[in-house]
Structure 1
């Protein structure tokens, strides 16, 4: 191996085939050796013209001139590069994998600063221009990013959520007070009602529930579209007003509504396929087989619907942010979720549990307050004999508005951040986001960085 400084690897001998303990190089003629021919390359002629002294220093004490390495010594390691710290000590005693004598940090042991070896700092931190670091995210970081978006851009986020929730709940309260009144409910609960009365009451109830569901769906779609735009800007650290969010999201509202409507139709069709055969068997044959088939069919249809809904759960942000059509958005969601179904399901389930818990904490006190201020008081509400007058509907509607104002941004934010996380893991979207945010590269000097994980 070449003995030029910088070529020899740490821990290797200075040259191959040479004994470090020899008092002189093997190619130097000693006093008992005959002189070699002078024209042999690499050898010195013996005699008065030789430049070798008869008295040589003891082994192991060779010193080389400045910038040169002695034949029997390992060349000194090169100076450490900027930013990486000093490399761990090597040498014959320590080598690459074990620390040398007097040096407690090797490649495989933690050093005094928590990095690799005695000074290696580990991977550089990821850039964080906005609410999340630009790297694969953990569950806590996704939830924290959704909450941070709502907290950082609270004027825009809460303004959108409050507007949508107020409009939605106003329509719902009016429909419940005017269509689904106590007369309709009493007719459905009256065992002595005629068939015409039951049919009319059931028609009114179905119509009212359908309109309420449609209004709620429209409000959810609009809120999701606007909050998706806000969250995508928050990842880059760029604020956005409600007007800017509406201008960006307006062309995508109708396709998003079509996407959600299509998903609802798919769910209804699957549930119908699982429910109808058992019902027909129960009507025609009767007995236990029909009931068992109905239960089994509904259970299988529910599992299939859940599996499909998770696979299509990232279609909404794909449609909004990638400007895709409905079919392409569904395909993109399937591609991003493939291989990560359980992870996506767990994060979505956790977000749903958290949002429902928060909504319940807010809505339940308003419900008891509305019951207490109603005509029949708490006793009628607890016994189920109280009537749902306008006081009850208005107060519970206020509680629903406050709950939706908090839960809508969290739900939309988690979905968008989960979509971004899956694209970072599969398509290296973090590099594109860093360029879009104007981040030159990760490192301690980058603004808003956080340690990588």
Structure 2
């Protein structure tokens, strides 16, 4: 039977019985027994064929497993990141160049207008249209790249947990096969955070209108107060739901779930362990954010030097094209730094999240012996999916 059938089929685990690792440091079951050195009293440490021990994972196991996966499978992880984020950046750059060439004359007309002169609609409409199309393309590219990356990381973990090699072509094929389901899952989970963000944005815009216009009318103050209050109320709920459904992307790839089934599966696995998943996910995000900031700093500094030289040659009233050309060195350095930071840091939280999924199934479904059995079996064609 092919491993594509899922580890819930050929390796369902229900026939093994027992409770997951109770007894010694990792508990009983097939590896349990009295504590002591390996081999004493029948106790043996849990197997570790891949990047993690096949037992309930501590924080060090989760972070160490994520770093180990990045070290062993860096070609696949960074290769996918480069292909996805680099391709999206190139597509956006081309779209922006085409849009600017189409509306450059209208932009120059608006910039050169004297004070007090209203801009013509024939100049404003093309700019708004071009900006809207570029923004829409950017959203589509971000969703596609995120969906493929969310699918690629668990696809690598499927073999990393078992200590098996995996090729870039295999990762690409697996993530592409689950792209539609992953887009739906990412969209649904993204809606959770969208509500408080939109409410907070409304409150911020209302506040800025009040400060800029010095308008203390009850309408503006009411909008600002209601927006801030709704954001404060819905924010904690959004965080709770976000963690509750945080394992859904892993369920899409590991078990082949569809979006709504993946959300229900994540809710089932997170139940009873919300705070640990919240704290671990937050720590992983902080680590990735700090790493991204450190990576971006040299690019920002390097981009300032050519910009200082080129902007010194600008006229007192430069055209938008001249400003863009003068700032091109800094913009290129910033975009490059952002892309490198994204490629290096983005996989880490996804790896930790995938390992949390494995950990929750080890704790609640006794998956450890099943994984040990699968790791000892000869590799077969297809992805070793973890069937529910």
TM-score (norm 2): 0.71
Asked if residue 332 in structure 1 is aligned to residue 252 in structure 2, the reply is no
Per-residue deviation, residues 36-90 of structure 1 (Å, max 9, x unmatched)? xxxxxxxxxxxxxxxxxxxxxxxxxxxxxxxxxxxxxxxxxxxxxxxxxxxxxxx
In the TM superposition, what is the alpha-carbon distance from 1:358 to its structure 2 partner? 1.0
Shift of 1:302: 2.6
Name the counterpart of 1:322: 255
1:357 is paired with a residue of what secondary structure? helix
Do structure 1's residue 343 and structure 2's residue 269 form an aligned pair? no
The residue number in structure 2 matching 1:143 is 63
Aligned counterparts of 1:361 and 1:285: Cα–Cα separation in 2: 45
Structure with greater contact order relative to length (CA < 8 Å, sep ≥ 6): 2
Whole-angstrom CA distance in 2 between matches of 1:337 and 1:346: 13
Alignment correspondent of 1:244: 170
Residue 379 and residue 141 in structure 1: after superposition, are their counterparts in 2 closer, same or farther (change >3 A)? farther
What corresponds to 2:301 in structure 1?
Answer: 368
Please name the residue that 1:54 is paired with. Answer: none
1:263-294 residue CA offsets vs partner (Å, 9 max, x unmatched): 233443565577779999x9995253332222
Match of 1:392 in 2: 330
**Structure 1, unpaired ranges of 5+:** 1-114, 440-453
Shift of 1:295: 1.0
Aligned counterparts of 1:357 and 1:193: Cα–Cα separation in 2: 47
- Matched-pair contact (CA < 8 Å) for 1:130–1:238: yes
> Separation in 2 of the partners of 1:279 and 1:402?
33
Is the contact made by 1:274 and 1:301 (CA closer than 8 Å) also made in structure 2?
A: no
Q: In the alignment, which of 217, 220, 225 is matched to residue 292 of structure 1?
A: 225
Q: 2:73 aligns with which of 153, 173, 177?
A: 153
Deviation, 1:334, is: 0.8
Structure 1 residue 435, shift from structure 2 partner: 1.0
Once the two structures are superposed, the pairs formed by residues 6-405 of structure 1 within 5 Å of their partners are: 123-179=43-99, 194=118, 196=121, 201-269=127-195, 271-272=197-198, 285-286=218-219, 288-374=221-307, 387-389=323-325, 390-405=328-343
Rounded Cα–Cα distance in structure 1 between residues aligned with 2:360 and 2:311: 49
The SS at the match of 2:188 is helix
- Cα 1:212/1:150, change in 2 over 3 Å: same
Q: How many pairs were matched up?
A: 319
Q: Distance in 1 between matches of 2:364 and 2:295?
A: 38
Name the structure where helix makes up a greater proportion of residues: 2
Among 345, 350, 358, the residue aligned to 1:407: 345
Q: Is the 8 A contact 1:271 1:301 kept in 2?
A: no
CA RMSD of aligned residues (A): 3.7
Cα distance between partner residues in 2 of 1:372 and 1:137: 47
Query: Does the 8 A contact of 2:150 with 2:182 survive in 1?
Result: no
Structure 2 unaligned regions, length at least 5: 1-34, 378-388
Q: Does structure 1 retain, via aligned residues, the 8 Å contact 2:36–2:43?
A: no
Cα distance between partner residues in 2 of 1:124 and 1:365? 48
Q: Cα 1:252–1:116, aligned 2, differ >3 Å: closer, same or farther?
A: closer
Contact 1:173–1:397 (CA under 8 A) maintained in structure 2: no
Q: How many angstroms does 1:222 deviate by?
A: 1.1
Distance 1:185 1:203, change over 3 A: farther
Structure 1 residues 314 and 379 mapped into 2: Cα distance closer, same or farther (>3 Å)?
farther
Deviation at 1:427, TM superposition (A): 1.1
CA contact 2:199–2:227 (8 Å) conserved in 1: no
Is residue 151–residue 174 contact of structure 2 (8 Å, CA) maintained in 1?
A: no
Counterparts of 1:416-435 in structure 2, within 5 Å, are 416-435=354-373
Q: CA deviation at 1:366?
A: 0.8
Bigger Rg, structure 1 or 2:
1
- What is the distance in 2 between the residues matched to 1:319 and 1:135? 23
